[in-house]
Amino acid sequence: MMSLITIKLTSFFLSIVLFLSSIPMLLNGTSVVDITVDTTKQGSEVPNIVSNLNQWSLSSFLSPTKPKDNNIYDFVQYVQLMQCTGGTAERDLFVDPYDTTTLTDYDFSKLIRSCRGVLSMGAKPLLKLGGVPLKFTSDYKMGGFDMNVYPPDDYQQYYIYIRAVIQALVDEFGLEEVRSWRFGCMTECENGDWFMAKSGDPKESCEAFCKLYDYTVQAVLDVLGDKAFIGAHTMAVTEGLWDERDFIRHVAQGTNYANGKKGTHIDYISASFYDSKPGKYTGGYTLPKTIKHLRKAAEKYGLTNLIYGVDEGRILAGNTRGSNDDALWSRTVGYTWQGAYDARLFKQGIDNGLDYFSSWGWLSDAISGYPTVSYHIANNLYKFAGSKKVETVVAAAKAEHGAEFDCLSVYNEQTQTVRLMIYNYKNDVNYQTPAEVSLSVKMPQFAGKQIQIVRSSVNDDCNFFDEWMKDRKTYNITDKTASWSPDDPCLDTTVTLEDFTARQIYQRDLRAKYAECAKLTPVTSTQTLSSDTWQTSITLGGSEVVFYEISLAKQPV
């Protein structure tokens, strides 16, 4: 048996060897990172953080076709149909939205078709109620999102309408089916561009929304019962017209406007979370602080069983401007950097108890087409759901200023699978500095057994956008051929690629090539684990994300 002195000397000399071996990398600008994982030390269960898709257009699911390839519904469980019951003539569920002589000429057919379309994809609807129909508000006002921002003149009439909507859905799909859906009230409730009192006064606007929420919830509960799942969407990340904590206090302790009782049913609270543009974070809360802000208020007033989500977000604008705007249509950029951004953001959410982070899309036409790097992140990360986080220590011996390295590690006892997500990130789309990563995973459950290792690398090799940037120069496709920011990866949309000639070139000469460039090919290997620890070393490129799936190798039949 070795003495304690021998063990200490061995560790000392090992440290020296590791340090000396890293000197060349320290000198040439390469980052040096050590990651140690212990699957025997387990924590909380990981949710499917990419389970939600938000949709602004109410036509997207009228007659959808389930994709054969790049099926986002492998991980999308809920489709948020935003402001789906009113606020514009197109969204108001009436035969004639402008005819105020009748308030009951209901036409729910479009919403019913959309819900059927969502179900046909294998997902469930999350219906954002709360939009106030034009005919319910005298002297209605269209706000910053071209929606009626004023409350209904008669909340009881509004209640009758929402109850009729829910009843029509139950009549069509059945009570138990609709109970399995989710519901929300309003988009960014304290944002004056979405909703306010006619006076514009913050206090009165808060009161008006609390009243709207109470009547909306009562209408849903009166049809579905207490098993209904419903909540509210706040901004939270930045200051709104009024403080969302006042709403939280109301639903916890206030007098319900619809039934006179104390408090109002609520199952979740969500936020928006947008960074300004690549290289520039939001001026508001970080994602962890946004979640903490909402949870602290809820728990202060006794709401301890809520789930927390982000109902929309990522990045507002690109670094380049199209002919009309610099906004990002998908709220993502096409650069490989976006993959590392997503990995970092989603890990922050998981580490801070976020249940989901809803996205605008993942493919070249948002919900159809070929993959963006965001799709590759989501398509690998959802497989972590149901597994438990395990102890992970990340130490950087040397890193470029502003660079971040992290690893999400989980273990699923039922499937006997270890999963890792490792990223190399800096808030700079041009970041390319590699990192030499030493990875050590303790997994005694696999000791002496043959294991299978599947490695999926999200980098330029599975991204079409670097090819697109080169082809733009070749074909003289300028920034002005896009309506919004040309940094967006959704080339199938006319918002991202508006110019007729440029679209012809793309469709004829480039699209098929990009579909091939966007494919991710995992690399599989097997080995016998001679000890209780698996070790490897990799070079992790700047903005690269690597996923590992480690399981028992399948034995030949």
> What is the spatial distance between Cα 212 and Cα 131, in angstroms, rounded to a whole number?
10
More confident residue, 2 or 485: 485
> What is the spatial distance between Cα 258 and Cα 103, in angstroms, rounded to a whole number?
20
Report whether 437 contacts 422 (CB < 8 A): yes
More confident residue, 24 or 128: 128
Three-state DSSP state, 171:
helix
Helix or strand (DSSP H, E) at 217: helix 202-224
- Predicted local confidence at residue 88, as pLDDT: 97
Per-residue pLDDT at 27 exceeds 80: no
Report whether 199 contacts 153 (CB < 8 A): no
> What is the spatial distance between Cα 521 and Cα 547, in angstroms, rounded to a whole number?
12
- Predicted local confidence at residue 554, as pLDDT: 86
Q: How many CB atoms lie within 10 A of CB 63?
A: 11
Tell me the DSSP string of 50-92: T-EEEE--TTTTSS----SSS-GGGT--EEEETTTT-SSTTTS
- Predicted local confidence at residue 379, as pLDDT: 99
CATH 3.20.20.80 correct for 52-387? yes
Q: pTM above 0.85?
A: yes
State the average pLDDT over residues 216-229.
Answer: 98
Cα distances from 195 to residues 9, 144, 360, in angstroms, run 68, 10, 22
Per-residue pLDDT at 200 exceeds 90: yes
- Predicted local confidence at residue 397, as pLDDT: 87
Least confident of 6-15, 316-325, 448-457: 6-15
Q: Which residues contact 420 (CB under 8 A, 6 or more apart)?
A: 37, 407, 408, 409, 439, 441, 546, 547, 548, 550
Cα distances from 392 to residues 122, 380, 421, in angstroms, run 35, 19, 11
Structure confidence by residue, pLDDT tens digits, 346-397: 999 999 999 999 999 999 999 999 999 999 999 999 999 999 999 999 999 8
- Predicted local confidence at residue 556, as pLDDT: 66
Structure confidence by residue, pLDDT tens digits, 468-508: 999 999 999 999 999 999 999 999 999 999 999 999 999 99
Per-residue pLDDT at 227 exceeds 80: yes
- Predicted local confidence at residue 162, as pLDDT: 99
State the average pLDDT over residues 34-43.
Answer: 98
Residue ranges of the chain assigned to CATH 3.20.20.80: 52-387
- Predicted local confidence at residue 17, as pLDDT: 43
- Predicted local confidence at residue 16, as pLDDT: 46
What value does the mean pLDDT of the chain take?
95
Least confident of 3-7, 142-146, 342-346, 453-457: 3-7
- Predicted local confidence at residue 26, as pLDDT: 46
- For domain 30-45+390-462+520-552, the CATH superfamily is Glycosyl hydrolase domain; family 39 (2.60.40.1500)
> What is the spatial distance between Cα 423 and Cα 339, in angstroms, rounded to a whole number?
9
- Record the tokens describing residue 439, joined without a space: 């990875």
- Predicted local confidence at residue 9, as pLDDT: 41
Residue ranges of the chain assigned to CATH 2.60.40.1500: 30-45+390-462+520-552
Q: Label residue 28 by pLDDT band (50, 70, 90).
A: low
Structure confidence by residue, pLDDT tens digits, 320-357: 999 999 999 999 999 999 999 999 999 999 999 999 99
**Considering only CA atoms, which of 380, 553, 536, 333 is closest in space to residue 452?**
553
- Record the tokens describing residue 426, joined without a space: 């800096």
- Phi, psi (5° rounding) for residue 145? -110, 20
